[in-house]
Structure 1
Amino acid sequence: MIKSAKRWTVNRPNEEIVKQLEKEVGIPSLHAKILASRGIIDPTEVHSFIHMDETTMHDPFLLYDMEKAIHLIESAIAANKKIVVYGDYDADGVTSVTVLTTALESLGADVTFSIPNRFEHGYGPNKKLFLKLYEEGASLLITVDNGISGVEEVAYAKSLGMDMIITDHHEIGAVLPDADAIIHPRHPEGHYPFGELAGVGVAFKLATALMGTVPYELMELVAIGTVADLVPLRDENRYFVKEGIRRMRNSKRPAIQALARISSTEQAELTEESIGFMIGPRLNAAGRLGDAYPAVDLLKTDDSTHAMTLAKELDTLNKERQAIVTAITSEAEKMITDLYGEVVPHCLVIAGKGWNAGVVGIVASRLTEKYYRPSIVLSIDSESGIAKGSARSIEGFDLYAELSKNAQYLPHFGGHQMAAGMSLAIEDIGILRDNLNGQAEQVLTAEMLSPLIEIDVPLSIDEIDVGVLESLDSLRPFGMAFKKPMYMLEDLTASSVRKIGAAKNHMKLELTDGAQTLDAIGFGIGSLADDITPGVKLSITGDLQVNEWNGNKKPQLLIRDIRSDDWQLFDLRGMREPSRWLPTVPTDSTSFIAFNAQTADYFRPSLQGIDIQLMKGDQLPKADNIVLLDIPDESSQLEELVKSMQADRIYAHFHVPESKYFEGLPGRDQFGWYYSFLKKRERFDVVSNAEQLTKHKGWKKDTVYFMSKVFSELEFVKIEDGFVSVLETVGKRDLSEAPSYKQRERQMKLEEKLLYAPYMELKQWFDEILNRAIDGEEQ
């Protein structure tokens, strides 16, 4: 048995619907399963989904206050008033700034942009910064990707005499700011058809309304911000990303070319994953460590050389950010160990002095991933007495709702079920920690604290080929609300298992269903190779990709998790030194069993204090795994043990001090010759002359001793002081009546069955025993 590292939930799509989609839409079964598992089952809907076009976009004037905003902006442009686009420091924010300023510039506006510094100004509207902009001549402020929560700050800007337009997509509070116009897809008085736009999506809508046409050349920026902000990839968002990525692959924009090059990404092969893991983090890095201006400068520049310089700057910042994250994560993990030892609480609240507030959200994500607990990571500022931080959650723990129960300790907090940000007084950290742990204990069960993998696309090998995988591009992008498939293949065996990598910490398998094969690779799980025995049935979940090597393309499964419900036989025969096999044996719930006391004595010094259980009568151990150190005198002893324990794993060592299998039994002609030899002599000194006799006859070393003992047990001879003498016999007796003969015969059969049988024969023998045990239980 191989236990999965995570808890699996398998949602199988309706097979009839899958076949219907295959037939009516003409798509492969893999595509049909992905769509069916996500509830896209109507053939017409599937066609529209795959062939999405510009008709998906909604009229921007359906957004509340759009006409009012356009009038304000056009009036400001006509009067040559200074317009400032006020953004945010993340990837959604900097793309929003770029989209709107580019549109305004094309209309001849006097426009600049401003982005608050995370450490000096914090998130969103800031009075100090608003005053500075006013003093610099700003007449109209347009927020992008922020502003909806800035009630006091907007009122302050208005009191200075500036006009305010808010464009945002974040949660709307009980009171709206008193801005001149508020463009928000979920405006309480609006009726926009799609409420899940990213900040850049809202900015793009405003740009479209201003320009009177869709600025497709900005779509690639919309794609970046939409993917990076993790909004649902439905409706317009899906089209923005799909069309944006298509354009990015052929883009002449210096920023796209430079970011692809600096992240070692083929521009022609860009995907939503490239944005999420390569481009987005580099655009975010500037704002996490300081000012986000370089990110906007990069996106707006027309100069390829300057773009490359800025991309390198962001790449350096991103590496610095990664180092900071690694250092803080290490400190946080040490705190967790020091605070809790091995018993991790239901919710983690970790705080450190001087931690970079720009990366604590990433650290929280890492802690949640490692410990599978809701995690809050706080940066303590001793001078201000304030701790600022971010939180990440797990399924079943509504972070925003649980934080709301502690609102009296959180002067500033916001977010949603899975992520949040907050600030609080340092002295309240302990109270928040205790409260959230108590709340989590009430909400989260032991099962919910086990990491979860949601599998929605079970496959067989015959559904997978290079063409099918490459055509998955038609279903992209994957992301929020249209998650990337998690594939599963069942009832496969591994025809080959290899540890790979310099440290042998990765594993490569060749999986087979008996007819076809599929390569699979697991990074960081090389030790699992020791757990995969020949013929064991495996279920494996992970991602599929096309692996290209020397011009050849093959499908490959990237292993996420693996399990088997089969019992397993591990062959340790012939590995004399325990140091060679002991590290591969689980330490928990394992019984080391010996049938002979001599075996236990032999192994005790080398088993590092492990208890050896000597089988006596009906006394049977209880354990999930058993290590069979030797072979029994009777096969029935072993059969009874195996049937009773029904272990998940059996480790067969079968140590035999002196194997008799290859020595064999002397033939009847040998016994006959030796008996005649003895009859011709009164006495034979077996001690002194046995070796000479065996050499003369070409027999094995102990053959003479063995035959002498058999004759003695049959009362054909007597042995005294090492001399053998023939006795007068009464009648004939068969050699098999001698206990020594029987024991040798029995040992040879046991050695043949247990010690020298091929692996699959030995496995089959155990299988038959276990099957009889199961059949007996069911009767």
Structure 2
Amino acid sequence: MLQSQSNWIFTYKEEDEQVDETGLSLSPFITRLLNSRGMLTKEQIEAFLHPTLDQLHDANLFHQIDIAAERVEKAIERGESILVYGDYDADGVTSTTLMVEALREKGAMCDYYIPNRFTEGYGPNESAFREAHRQGFQLIITVDNGIAGVNEVKIANELGIDVIITDHHEVQEELPEALAIIHPKCSPKYPFDELAGVGVAFKFASYLLGYFPKQFLDLVVIGTVADLVPLQDENRVLVKYGLESISNTNRIGLQALKKQCSLTEEITEEDIGFRIGPRLNAVGRLQDANIAVDLLLSEDPGEAEELAEYVQELNTERQKIVTQIAEEAIRSIEQLGPIEQHKVLVVAKEGWNQGVLGIVTSRLVQEYHRPAIVLTIDPKTNSAKGSARSIAQFDLFKHCMTNKSLFTHFGGHAQAAGMTLPLENIDKLRTALNEIAEEILTEDDFKPQLFIDTTIDIKAINMELLTQMNQLAPFGMNNPKPIFHVKGLPAEIRQIGATKNHLKILLEDDGVAVDGIGFGIGELYQRLSQDTPLEAVVELQINEWNGIRKPQLFIKDIAVKEWQLFDFRGVKNWIDKVNIENNAIALSFQGNQIEAIQTVTVTEFEQLASPIEALYLIDLPNNMDQLSKVLKGKEIYRMYTCYQNDESVFFQTLPSREEFKWLYQFILKRKYFDYKVDAPKLAVYKDWKLEKIKWMFQVFHDLGFLTRENGQIVPTKNPEKKDLTESSLYQKMQQQRIIEEQLFYSTYHQLKEWLNDQIESATTNEEELIYGF
């Protein structure tokens, strides 16, 4: 048995049979996936599988977009300076780049400004707007921010600067008094309100230019994927075409950045999410994000190469900083005491880089599967500032707001937040949140969740299925990669990777096998028996090697529902081949000890409560009943048979009754037997081994048939009549042969079947008593 590391949540009912009634010849698995994503009719499915630019909504539907465009036209006519005010993340820098290029194409005099994360923070700020006025800007266009800048817009108005806001963030109770606000959620007629900031900027650019500017799609796809907006409706179309655009982009800066990412072929949403996006984000996390915009706007190959190299260096530095802070945070957590006592993790330290704390916090949540807050301490202000991330079962925003008096500033949502608080309130916050978590969270809540789309047979996994499934891409928020539940027998299990931290499995069912790989779960190698069926939660992918393409399982989690047997019988150095768990138990029948494992006697083992995660049988029992008794009714997850059999009797021929009879008659007739002199002669005469002769005499002595007089073996006078089987030596030999036959020389499956019968015997007997059978 092996417990899953995650909670498996099946989002379907197995009895729900999926029938493709659309005439599109889809696999029932694909039909189920589409239905679960809200695609029910033929028209909906076709639109989803084959998105077109015609599915995009008309930019005219944005409220006040006409007012904004008219103001830009006037600025161009008057020769006014326009400032594009952006943000420091990937969505913000792509939005900024896109708007600057669109304005310049229109002939506008414009520049851009991105606030510094550390000195100015997110969104509009008064000093920046006053500086814009000082430099002579008459119009500010915000991208990916501005909807919360009520006071800043008011100041701009007082200074005589018009402000156009393009944003997608949550609308606050009070809206800024801007000249125009272009925002999906402020536009009742606009059909889709989940555009990224760059998506809103793209819509405004399309309206300004009067045509569909495909040249910006490479920017749109970066911001949309990196900002984790739902990949539905327009976003799906923009990303679909954006991936084609960025794969073939002529943008000098992106070409240089792709080179740094080692991306030469078709770009996927994963390439953006894990390579391009993090590099652009790294700039704003460590310093001024204007460098990222400079790179994207660059038209000089030499400059672009230089900027891309610098962005790469910043990303490398960011990774090192994240690793360092994460290690320090983990050490701080370990110093807090047993992790079970800390439902919500709160750590703080002076000197931690504020720009990467969100990433560090996410790592802690992934490591410990519980809400986490990571703060950097500023001794000058006697305050701490940082980020928080949560698990699905703990609404971070709600529970922090019940303690809002502890914060100087706080904002966020259920799963993520940012905050500032006085140093003296850190311990109070930790205590308060832990008390809430103690009340509402269960042990299962501290396991990650895997939402399973469907169960699939191994034999149903083929290239045709994967080809159809890939039509569901691009994958992302609200259109995740499908997750499947599979069952099978691991025909092969291997550890791979330089540090053996990955797992390779050949999973077989009904004569069909498919390769599977699990990254970062190599430690499970020694907890999986090759002869026990397992269940896994997987993604399906195509593995291509030497021109051969075939399906592969990307393993996310593994569970084994029945107990497992690991066979190390007769292996001298077995302890070097197993990974001893902290709660492992070694059972000895002969008083042996294993230094590396807690070793118990039979009596001590019988007192242990189930379940027992790992049981090592380190020697053979004295009889079969002894082993049967200790196993009876025990719940054991993994059993390791590690015993030796150095003095085997199994292959020794047990003397027959005729041989015993002949030897006894011989002694009776001869009256005596001098073992030292006569045994070698007898061995030659009868072709018996000396050990056999010696053992037969021991049996006779045990039965009282023979005795010793004057150093010789002589018949006992008037012995009691007994059968050979009454001899304890004879019984022990027979029992030893049975033990060896069943426990040592049996096949793996014979041994497991016998052990399983002993474990289950208590349950069977109890059921018989209950039901009276």
Task: Check the 8 A contact 1:355/1:379 in 2, yes or no.
Answer: yes
Shift of 1:773: 4.6
Pairing partner for 1:622 from 584, 609, 616 = 609
Amino acid at match of 1:363: V
Q: Who is 2:305 aligned against?
A: 308
Shift of 1:591: 4.5
Task: Check the 8 A contact 1:37/1:457 in 2, yes or no.
Answer: no
Q: Does 1:551 align with 2:550?
A: no
* 1:446-502 per-position Cα deviation (integer Å, ceiling 9, x unaligned): 322222222223221122223432443311111111122222212x11111122233
Pair 682,324 (structure 1): closer, same or farther in 2 beyond 3 Å: same
Aligned equivalents of 2:16, 2:444: Cα separation in 1: 33
Q: Does 1:413 align with 2:402?
A: no
Amino acid at match of 1:198: A
SS at match of 1:18: coil
Alignment of 1:545-694 (within 5 A): 545-576=541-572, 579-580=575-576, 583-588=578-583, 590-595=584-589, 599-600=590-591, 603-604=592-593, 606-608=594-596, 610-615=598-603, 621-625=608-612, 626-656=615-645, 658-668=647-657, 670-675=659-664, 677-679=666-668, 681-686=670-675, 690=679, 693-694=682-683
SS at match of 1:422: strand
Pairing partner for 1:208 from 191, 203, 206 = 206
Relative to structure 2, which stretch is displaced further, 94-103 or 741-750? 741-750
Q: Who is 1:429 aligned against?
A: 426
Shift of 1:394: 0.8
Aligned equivalents of 1:32, 1:466: Cα separation in 2: 17
Q: Who is 1:764 aligned against?
A: 753
Q: Who is 1:3 aligned against?
A: 3
Q: Who is 1:459 aligned against?
A: 456
Q: Who is 1:71 aligned against?
A: 70
Alignment of 1:77-156 (within 5 A): 77-156=76-155
Amino acid at match of 1:622: A
Shift of 1:319: 0.5
Amino acid at match of 1:120: T
SS at match of 2:340: coil
* 1:146-198 per-position Cα deviation (integer Å, ceiling 9, x unaligned): 111111111112211111111111112111111111111111x6332111111
Relative to structure 2, which stretch is displaced further, 683-692 or 532-541? 683-692
Task: Check the 8 A contact 2:570/2:645 in 1, yes or no.
Answer: no
Q: Who is 1:520 aligned against?
A: 516
Q: Who is 1:440 aligned against?
A: 437
Pair 95,633 (structure 1): closer, same or farther in 2 beyond 3 Å: same
Task: Check the 8 A contact 2:494/2:505 in 1, yes or no.
Answer: yes
Q: Who is 1:348 aligned against?
A: 345
Pair 565,431 (structure 1): closer, same or farther in 2 beyond 3 Å: same
Amino acid at match of 2:476: G
* 1:195-221 per-position Cα deviation (integer Å, ceiling 9, x unaligned): 111111111111011111221221121
Alignment of 1:253-332 (within 5 A): 253-268=251-266, 270-332=267-329
SS at match of 1:129: helix
Pair 700,756 (structure 1): closer, same or farther in 2 beyond 3 Å: farther
Q: Does 1:393 align with 2:390?
A: yes
SS at match of 1:340: coil
Q: Does 1:377 align with 2:374?
A: yes
Q: Who is 1:230 aligned against?
A: 228
Aligned equivalents of 2:300, 2:39: Cα separation in 1: 44
Shift of 1:272: 1.0
Q: Does 1:25 align with 2:24?
A: yes
Task: Check the 8 A contact 1:715/1:729 in 2, yes or no.
Answer: no
Aligned equivalents of 2:75, 2:13: Cα separation in 1: 55
Pairing partner for 1:474 from 471, 476, 480 = 471
Relative to structure 2, which stretch is displaced further, 24-33 or 145-154? 24-33
Shift of 1:770: 4.5
SS at match of 2:480: coil
Amino acid at match of 2:609: K
* 1:134-157 per-position Cα deviation (integer Å, ceiling 9, x unaligned): 222211000001111111111112
Aligned equivalents of 2:195, 2:624: Cα separation in 1: 71
Pair 591,413 (structure 1): closer, same or farther in 2 beyond 3 Å: closer
Shift of 1:348: 1.9
* 1:13-42 per-position Cα deviation (integer Å, ceiling 9, x unaligned): 666563326x73212344223223334333
Aligned equivalents of 1:249, 1:118: Cα separation in 2: 31
Aligned equivalents of 1:770, 1:285: Cα separation in 2: 57
Q: Who is 1:338 aligned against?
A: 335
Sequence identity (%): 42
Task: Check the 8 A contact 2:151/2:176 in 1, yes or no.
Answer: yes
* 1:19-68 per-position Cα deviation (integer Å, ceiling 9, x unaligned): 326x7321234422322333433332111111121222111121111111
Pair 593,331 (structure 1): closer, same or farther in 2 beyond 3 Å: closer
* 1:631-670 per-position Cα deviation (integer Å, ceiling 9, x unaligned): 3344233333333324333322344462211123123454
* 1:513-557 per-position Cα deviation (integer Å, ceiling 9, x unaligned): 131001112223223111222321100113222222222222221
Aligned equivalents of 2:161, 2:432: Cα separation in 1: 43
Aligned equivalents of 2:362, 2:559: Cα separation in 1: 26
Pairing partner for 1:710 from 696, 699, 704 = 699
Pair 411,632 (structure 1): closer, same or farther in 2 beyond 3 Å: closer
Pair 109,593 (structure 1): closer, same or farther in 2 beyond 3 Å: same
SS at match of 1:287: helix
| CA-based RMSD | 2.6
SS at match of 1:379: strand
Aligned equivalents of 2:426, 2:630: Cα separation in 1: 56
SS at match of 1:245: helix
Amino acid at match of 2:672: R
Q: Specify every segment of 5 or more residues in structure 2 that has no aligned partner in the other structure, as ranges.
A: 769-773
Q: Does 1:750 align with 2:750?
A: no
Q: Specify every segment of 5 or more residues in structure 1 that has no aligned partner in the other structure, as ranges.
A: none
Pair 470,317 (structure 1): closer, same or farther in 2 beyond 3 Å: farther
Number of aligned residue pairs: 766
Relative to structure 2, which stretch is displaced further, 521-530 or 713-722? 713-722
Aligned equivalents of 1:646, 1:445: Cα separation in 2: 24
Task: Check the 8 A contact 2:562/2:637 in 1, yes or no.
Answer: yes
Shift of 1:11: 2.0
Pair 580,471 (structure 1): closer, same or farther in 2 beyond 3 Å: same
Shift of 1:689: 5.6
SS at match of 2:598: coil
SS at match of 1:343: helix
Q: Who is 1:502 aligned against?
A: 498
Relative to structure 2, which stretch is displaced further, 323-332 or 30-39? 30-39
Pair 153,409 (structure 1): closer, same or farther in 2 beyond 3 Å: farther
Task: Check the 8 A contact 2:196/2:223 in 1, yes or no.
Answer: yes
SS at match of 1:334: helix
Relative to structure 2, which stretch is displaced further, 420-429 or 214-223? 420-429
Aligned equivalents of 2:720, 2:103: Cα separation in 1: 120
Task: Check the 8 A contact 1:624/1:649 in 2, yes or no.
Answer: no
Shift of 1:376: 1.6
Aligned equivalents of 2:582, 2:411: Cα separation in 1: 46
